[in-house]
Each structure stands twice: as C-alpha cells, then as structure tokens.
C-alpha cells in the first residue's frame, strides 16, 4: 500500500524457476506490495511449485511472449482495481528495494520508468556491457530528441510503474506480444503525452539464462526494431486517434496571510470555482483522472 493506494507487482515468467521464489519474497519484504502477480507464460516445469506458498498469485498466459505475459498481468491489475502497477522480472536482475523509489515518484507523475544504464547501479556480472548500455542509451536519446521528452536513457527496462489510469488510456494501443513490447509501452506513454520521469534502478546479474538480450545478435536485432518503432511513431505510421492525457488546471496560488476579509472571500470564491472546473474536466474525459499527481496540487 502506498498512501492509501493498492500496489501490485507483475512478474512475467518463462525461465526463472530458480529465482522466482526469492524475487517474490524480496518484493513482499518491502511491505509496500499488496500483491505480487506471477504471469506463468508456459514457464519451466516446477515454477508453480516455487511460487506456491510465497503469497504471490499465479495466473496463466498461453500466448508465448514477453508482451503477451505483461499484458495479461496489466489486464488483471486494471480489472481488479489496483491503483499502482509495477512491472518487474523475477530473474534476480531487479531489486525489491527499488519499489520505494518508483512509488515515491508516483506522487508526482503517473508513469515512472526505470533505467538500467546508470553506471553506479549496474552490478558486477549484470548483462549490461558497453553495447547494450550505449545502444539503449543512444535509442533513448534519439527518442528524447525526436519527441522533446524529459530525460530518457533506456528504452527497454522492465522495471516501471504506472497508475491504473495511465495504463487504461494506452491499453488499446498496446499490440506487441514479443520482446519489443517494452519500447512500445514507452512510445505510447510519449504519444499520449502522459507525464513521466525516468529514474536509475539497480540492475544485477541474472540468475539463469537470458533468452532475450543475452545473445548479442538478438540484442542487435532488437535494437534495430526499436529504432524502427521510434521512427514509425515519429513519422506517423502508427494509428493516431488517441485520447490525450488531460492535465488538470493548477489551483490558484494562495497568497501569504494575513488577508483582509474581502480578500479571503475572493480567495474562497476562486478556490470554489477551480474545484468546479476540475470536477467538470474530470467528468468530460472518458478516463478517470484520480492520480495523486493531479490531486497533489489541491492538497498543498
């Protein structure tokens, strides 16, 4: 639970039998995760036995692929009223310790991306050699430049946080079932103009064999597809009828006290008007705008 909000961590699993138990317990130990949802994507035999008894809820996705597995987890969370959805991997690479950092930024923005390219956060033995690190960085910088976004240094880090409202907005546009689902998720956040921030997350050595970026040739092809995807978005080849994220107008500034009676009355009126305006904005959008990011200014 984070500030009264229900938090769920989604673990897609394919080949993480030897690490999934420890990974699940690591996230529960933070006492921040209300739920850990394991999406079994035709996972290695014995995975379910490892998950049993950890407190995680196991669900199944038969369509093979990283994207299919994550989408299944996302759909489960949004259907069950989870407020803050954190994606991760149960292969030992990501740290439960970073959950707090992702949640802390969710107070300000509806999407928090992790980056694995900050040198101080890359552990010995992690699969983040110079090619992966600088390749990811270069494509992310290209995206930052082409879309004039806030700082981006990693396109494909699974460790990310989304509010339910952000995911509901972009969900109809998430179509990729394979490994480049991660970059598509990022591009849809950018395309919908959803406010986001990117923060460094710990990236450790994988337990067991990577089936995606462990092979340099596969990683290179994935990189090329990422560049293609970014250019498709930039030059409008991807369907464009999107409902943009609706920012709520900021409340009027509260002047320093002491105030005269007539000033107090004027302030009360303007606050009332702004509350009504906010309510009407929320009513006219199809998406519920109830994230802390929007509520927070009203509380100040």
Ligand X SMILES: Nc1nc2c(ncn2[C@@H]2O[C@H](COP(=O)(O)OP(=O)(O)OP(=O)(O)O)[C@@H](O)[C@H]2O)c(=O)[nH]1
Q: Binding residues for ligand X, per CB under 6 A?
A: 12-14, 16, 41, 64-66, 69, 89-91, 127, 156, 158, 210-214
- The residue (of 50 and 91) whose beta carbon lies closer to ligand X is 91
Tokens of 261: 């009676």
Tell how many helices (H) and how many strands (E) occur in the chain: 10, 7
Select the span of 84-92, 95-103, 248-256, 263-271 touching Mg ion (CB under 5 A). Answer: 84-92
Cβ 281 vs Cβ 289: under 8 Å = yes
Cβ 189 vs Cβ 166: under 8 Å = yes
Residue 12 interacts, among ligand X, Mg ion, none and using kind-specific CB cut-offs from 5 to 8 Å, with ligand X
- The residue (of 214 and 250) whose beta carbon lies closer to ligand X is 214
Cβ 173 vs Cβ 239: under 8 Å = yes
Select the span of 32-40, 91-99, 245-253, 291-299 touching Mg ion (CB under 5 A). Answer: 91-99
Tokens of 89: 């991997």
The continuous run of DSSP H or E covering 139 comes out as: helix 130-147
Tokens of 93: 């690479």
Determine if 83 is a binding residue for Mg ion (CB under 5 A): no
Residue 65 interacts, among ligand X, Mg ion, none and using kind-specific CB cut-offs from 5 to 8 Å, with ligand X
- The residue (of 51 and 293) whose beta carbon lies closer to ligand X is 51
- 217 phi-psi bin (left φ>0, alpha ψ -120 to 50, beta other): alpha
Site string for Mg ion, 238-277 (x = CB under 5 A): ----------------------------------------
Interface with Mg ion by CB under 5 A: which residues?
Answer: 89, 91, 93
């Amino acid at each position: 639970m984070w500030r009264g909000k229900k938090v769920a961590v989604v673990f897609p699993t394919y080949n993480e039998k030897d690490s999934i138990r420890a990974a699940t317990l690591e996230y529960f130990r933070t006492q921040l995760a209300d739920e850990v949802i394991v999406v079994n994507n035709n996972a290695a035999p014995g995975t379910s036995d490892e998950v049993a008894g950890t407190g995680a809820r196991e669900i199944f996705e038969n369509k093979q692929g990283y994207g299919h597995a994550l989408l299944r987890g996302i759909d489960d969370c949004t259907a069950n009223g989870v407020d803050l959805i954190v994606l991760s991997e149960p292969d030992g690479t990501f740290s439960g310790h970073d959950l707090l950092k992702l949640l802390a930024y969710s107070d300000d923005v509806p999407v928090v991306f992790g980056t694995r390219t900050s040198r101080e956060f890359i552990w010995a033995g992690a699969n983040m050699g110079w090619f992966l690190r600088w390749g990811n960085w270069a494509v992310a910088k290209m995206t930052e430049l082409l879309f004039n976004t806030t700082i981006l240094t990693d396109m494909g880090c699974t460790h990310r946080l989304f509010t339910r409202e952000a995911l509901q907005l972009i969900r109809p546009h998430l179509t990729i079932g394979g490994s480049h689902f991660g970059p598509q998720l990022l591009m849809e956040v950018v395309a919908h103009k959803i406010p986001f921030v990117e923060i460094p997350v710990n990236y450790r050595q994988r337990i067991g064999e990577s089936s995606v970026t462990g092979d340099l040739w596969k990683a290179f092809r994935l990189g090329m597809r990422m560049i293609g995807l970014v250019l498709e978005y930039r030059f409008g080849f991807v369907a464009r009828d999107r409902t943009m994220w609706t920012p709520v107008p900021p409340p009027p500034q509260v002047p320093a006290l002491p105030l005269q009676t007539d000033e107090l009355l004027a302030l009360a009126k303007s606050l009332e008007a702004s509350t009504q305006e906010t309510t009407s904005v929320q009513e006219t959008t199809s998406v519920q705008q109830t994230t802390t990011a929007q509520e927070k200014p009203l509380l100040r």
